[in-house]
Structure 1
């Protein structure tokens, strides 16, 4: 058996299990069985003899590309592509472990994932529904943004190349035909590379500049349509069939997409210059997931001459009490692309207008309007919620807030001043002020990642503002409730700049080197052991202790795992000794934590946090405490929706 996807140097070996000859790449990766194939080669289930684990292996070059004249150029390009792919660390993109180069082939070695493809899911369920489709689409888009940031194009985004895990995580896989922008755009026979029903129309043009990020976004739009509508928007097995269908019917019908329709329309703009960009598409998908009407995508108003987006029409129908049209009488929503604003642009304008209009309303505190002077007798009695808050306030003359004291820029105790300082501290004071507490009415109590939930449960503190990541597990296990997020932090590592043993420049280096990783006991990063990282045992109580050990030349700890905002302060304080690696595996949101039974407090904290974010105070705090730490540009998270509490 020869190497998949091209003639390369292979050594004969023996696979684990049955004693039969197998192809072994570079004496390490033993090809066991083909688990997928296409025009650009095969994907193999393989066994990594060195680390004793199963992996997926695929060649980046097809046999058809291997002519004497093009081999050297193709090998150089594939080598650069493999290096770029290996640097992508994102929870929605398959992890690339290694790159291997044989005589005439460049291989990428990827994590072997268990799960079913989105294509299998669609074959079984046909239509996924708006919320589920939007959630999966958002994850694919976030993965694509990480891929594009690495200057790589996927070129074959489709349901068959998206893995959906049982817990709902969507992972973009199969980079067998991925390339840099401007790389080869056609096969040897002049046929555009990709799967025809998912290929953008600009790829069909004779003078096409080749694939771009916009081409991947078109494929995402086709995939979103297929999830929401249960069919392809433009059918055809051959390139010319798909091209003709796009030309003759550029506006596919929308029956089930509901609030997803404007997003799909924007992604399926035939002219790539009119297509939604990734950032706008992500914002619109997040808005769809916040839209309660998304739970019932079939509640459409009967089509009119209006060019409002479907979700705007639904809203009007709901407010006016009009009777909903039965499903059997529904008509596809159609927004013309000619002679006026594009459908998605109109939808975005409506969404932004709604947010701006709603921002004034949402910024108002949760209390009844004050009565005019002299009409006290006509004033409304306090609501049950107001009474409950007043009772809580009477029993808490001092607001006790749990904070950390060893996180520069975020939350740090200054011994000389005998006071706390940082972004979290300013946030805590702002929330306390909105609750009616003066600064001297706030008591800070130092907590750690390991004991903050206990201090809450034991009523030693009323709130915790201490880089507390919002997770469902913490709601259940720690028995705490959150309001937030008030900050979205990236996940990363802090390492030594100069090391006697390990040269660490990426998260992949940390994992593959088996370097000991330290994190605070009780943090979400303890689970890194499940992803193949070597964790210090036992973990320490605080991140400061981890950093102290990292700085100790005699220590076996070579990396500290935590959030970028938390570790940036340490790196900033030791610029010659420590460095922050690029953010990997997405972000996590910090929340203000409290006891679930304190409903009145939770409602007030939500209103306070909403006001802090909406008023611009968040930006002032960020500029004061965090802007100089070398983080990527940050923006305030969306204000919380307090009406859902």
Structure 2
């Protein structure tokens, strides 16, 4: 699997519901059914008599169990030796021995079999790699990579609290892993610090799928208690008629984990489940003293009502803002130049072990209501505005709390995004740009972060670069914005319209193809308006350079051999290719990068990726000798600048800027800088006609 190089082999730590010291791993939370317990095969004793070699159990003649490396309410995780490949692995049974009865064994085995298959398909650097699944008479085992890392719980025990940037980075990685898990229709059910491993290089890995379940699967309880760890269990799991664990309940647990990282404790304590739930009811808005810009994220994830809770895409956008947004700027009251007042960058240092930082200001918390019921009702009322304003609020906090260093996105101020105008107003000194800028001191633009040449995010420098980024700066400059007044937010393909709908961004410049369907969305969808197109891309495919299963010379081979094609969810390819006879993968991921990751994994069933030629060219350049492009197929993708509908003033300004960019040398310079090397062509393609700007 691709993930086999994610961590070095060594000390195993699957998490196993928090490990041997996990105080929440007691029998009271184990899966149970009525009836006599099924007799379970004896496992090797933990200690052998002196002078005797302990007899080893070998699973399926291949995996030799060596020693337990973690235990919890759902059983033990073993360090094992893979006799065939001669490597050490971690192996865990998915079935709780206390839940097995003669009457439930067959159904439980079938369910665990399906869960193991789903878990084994999850491929993501922030999710533990599953090498294999094996089945014995009354157990289903998953074989995982053995990881050299310590748990986040161990990290917090030593350091007590983490600095906000570090907590946000770990939280973002957990969230990205959860999105991959949820995309496979799996719910983790036990997200907590004990089940997150943190390597020395900072990589966070979500582990322990021993109690994972399918989305929508029935709850399994004992004495009314839901399986999991009480302080991290979402309140909806205990409401009458609850559908059981869902992705939203995993996001609640992530909110608890984020709170614990920055505050040094869980927000809703209690020794029993009922105590935790009562604390949620009585005080639904826990005090946040040290969260700084993370406060809106944590508050949004800890909404008791799952319908009002932050969704994964919005939470990811907000976490990226915390990690990478520039400090907000406040316009000077005087000075005709209109320059923004700058604040000196504030370095962030992590607190020494055992140190609890002093609050920078008053606690970020809601006023307590007269009783828990009123407090919870008030929290429910505020839900809708949080999703709409969360990203904006997060940016404001970044500017006032002084947590992060301003990033200077996109390189020097004289870059290829270059001057398209004269005068500070951006249009020869006219007052037209001020129409939008007057009410919007920053311009929030949604972009991609995984498309070399077009738009790529550098995690080390915390900057975006590429053709779309330069275009965004050029448009912003024409509208009267300076570079430090532009705020970029990553928007995956299936989240672009939502980011506009919730006003998390003002514009989306993210290889967003203009289609009639997107301009007039179907019921339940979000329509957007476009200015453009600013670039015309051809359609194509990416395949492995070498394939042991297929010989693929052109796109006709993909159809003839019924090769599974991966593309991004909600892209034009998802609906267009099946009409042309292509076979698509069963479920499409959020991004083209996810498809590329599967293509590079020689053990996956993905042998082709469909996308635009310019996107695929960037992937070829980044992976020389591993993938190749096929010839383009019929059709073109016209990229547009997207915005909310019924914004004629904003659209007029964007269209005006695009006309100047396309008419002058700026467009050619941006192509030469970012795309010519990828396309092996110094000459840019023909200039597109701004059909979406007619009348503006």
Query: Does 1:22 pair with 2:53?
Result: no
Q: Which blocks of at least 5 consecutive residues in structure 2 are unaligned? A: 1-15, 17-29, 31-37, 329-339, 345-356, 367-377, 399-407, 429-451, 455-464, 476-540, 552-562, 567-596, 604-618, 635-664, 675-684, 687-696
Cα distance in 2 for partners of 1:246, 1:491 equals 50
Deviations along 1:571-602, one digit per CA (max 9) or x if unpaired, are 56799xxxxxxxxxxxxxxxxxxxxxxxxxxx
Match of 1:140 in 2: 174
C-alpha distance after superposition, 1:296-344 (max 9, x if no partner): xxxxxxxxxxxxxxxxxxx99979xxxxxx9468321124625545445
Correspondence for 1:251:
285
SS of equivalent to 1:66 = coil
Scaled by the length of structure 1, what TM-score is found? 0.53
**In the aligned structure 1, how far is the partner of 2:671 from the partner of 2:299?**
32
Distance 1:491 1:161 in 2: 36
Q: How many residues align?
A: 405
SS of the residue aligned with 1:98? strand
Task: Give, in angstroms, the shift of residue 236 of structure 1.
Answer: 1.1
- SS in structure 2 of the partner of residue 21 of structure 1: coil
Q: Does 1:41 align with 2:75?
A: yes
* Alignment partner of 1:232 is 2:266: yes
Residues 574/371 of structure 1: CA separation in 2 closer, same or farther (3 Å cut) = closer
Q: Distance in 2 between matches of 1:11 and 1:505?
A: 42
The counterpart of 1:68, out of the listed 99, 102, 127, is 102
Change (3 A) 1:574 1:191: same
Residue in 2 aligned with 1:156?
A: 190
The structure-2 alpha-carbon separation of the partners of 1:225 and 1:491, relative to structure 1 and needing over 3 Å to count, comes to: farther
- Of residues 389, 394, 400 in structure 2, which corresponds to 1:346? 389
Give 3-state SS (helix, strand or coil) of 1:337's partner. Answer: helix
Q: Aligned-pair distance for 1:186?
A: 2.2
Residue by residue over 1:106-135, the C-alpha shift from the partner in whole angstroms, topping out at 9 and shown as x without a partner, is 000000001110001111111111100010
SS for the counterpart of 2:191 is: coil
Q: Which residue of 2 aligns with 1:570?
A: 629
Shift of 1:183: 2.2
| Counterpart-to-counterpart distance in 2, 1:605 and 1:328 | 48
CA distance in 1, matches of 2:59, 2:620: 33
Question: Equivalent of 1:333, from 343, 358, 364?
Answer: 364
* 1:592-619 deviation line (CA, Å, top 9, x unaligned): xxxxxxxxxxxx9999769999xxxxxx
Any residues of structure 2 matched to 1:372-411 within 5 Å, and which? none
Query: Match of 1:88?
Result: 122
Residues 200-253 of structure 1, C-alpha deviations (whole Å, 9 max, x = no match): 101122321100000111101100111111111111121101100000000011
Distance in 2, Cα, partners of 1:217 & 1:611: 43
Asked whether the equivalents of residues 253 and 334 of structure 1 are also in contact (C-alpha less than 8 Å), the reply is yes
Alignment-derived partner of residue 152 in structure 2: 118
How many angstroms apart in 2 are the aligned matches of 1:364 and 1:135?
29
TM-aligned CA deviation for residue 257 of structure 1? 0.5
What SS does structure 2 have at the residue aligned with 1:22?
A: coil
Residue pairs, 1:547-558, within 5 angstroms: none
SS at match of 1:252: coil
The 8 Å contact of residues 75 and 105 in structure 1, kept in 2 or not, is answered as yes
SS of structure 1 residue aligned to 2:221: coil
What does the per-residue CA deviation read over 1:422-480, in whole Å, with 9 as the maximum and x for residues that have no partner?
Answer: xx99989999x99xxxxxxxxxxxxxxxxxxxxxxxxxxxxxxxxxxxxxxxxxxxxxx
| In structure 1, C-alpha distance between the alignment counterparts of 2:231 and 2:164, rounded to whole Å | 22
Contact 1:410–1:566 (CA under 8 A) maintained in structure 2 = no
Q: 2:308 aligns to what? A: 274
The 1:606–1:156 alpha-carbon spacing in structure 2 relative to 1, beyond 3 Å, is farther
CA distance in 1, matches of 2:43, 2:71: 22
- Match in the other structure for 1:209: 243
In the TM superposition, what whole-angstrom CA distance separates every residue of 1:146-198 from its partner, at most 9, and x where no partner exists?
11111111110000000000000000011110111122422344420110101
The reply on whether 1:289 has 2:323 as its aligned counterpart is yes
The 3-state SS of whatever aligns with 2:379 is coil
Shift of 1:31: 1.0
| Aligned twin of 1:186 | 220
Cα 1:278–1:67 shift into 2, 3 Å: same
After the TM superposition, which residues 313-462 of structure 1 pair with which residues of structure 2 at under 5 Å, given as runs? Answer: 327=358, 330-335=361-366, 337=379, 339-340=381-382, 342-343=385-386, 345-350=388-393, 365=418, 369-370=422-423
Q: Of 177, 180, 195, which residue of structure 1 is paired with 2:229?
A: 195
1:153 and 1:180 in contact (8 A); partners too: yes
Distance 1:113 1:121 in 2: 16
1:462-473 correspondence to structure 2 within 5 Å = none
> Runs of 5+ in structure 1 lacking a partner?
295-314, 320-325, 376-408, 412-423, 435-489, 508-527, 535-559, 576-603, 614-623, 626-645
Task: Provide the rounded CA distance (Å) in 2 between the counterparts of 1:208 and 1:102.
Answer: 33
Give the structure with the higher percent helix: 1
Give 1:199 shift.
0.7
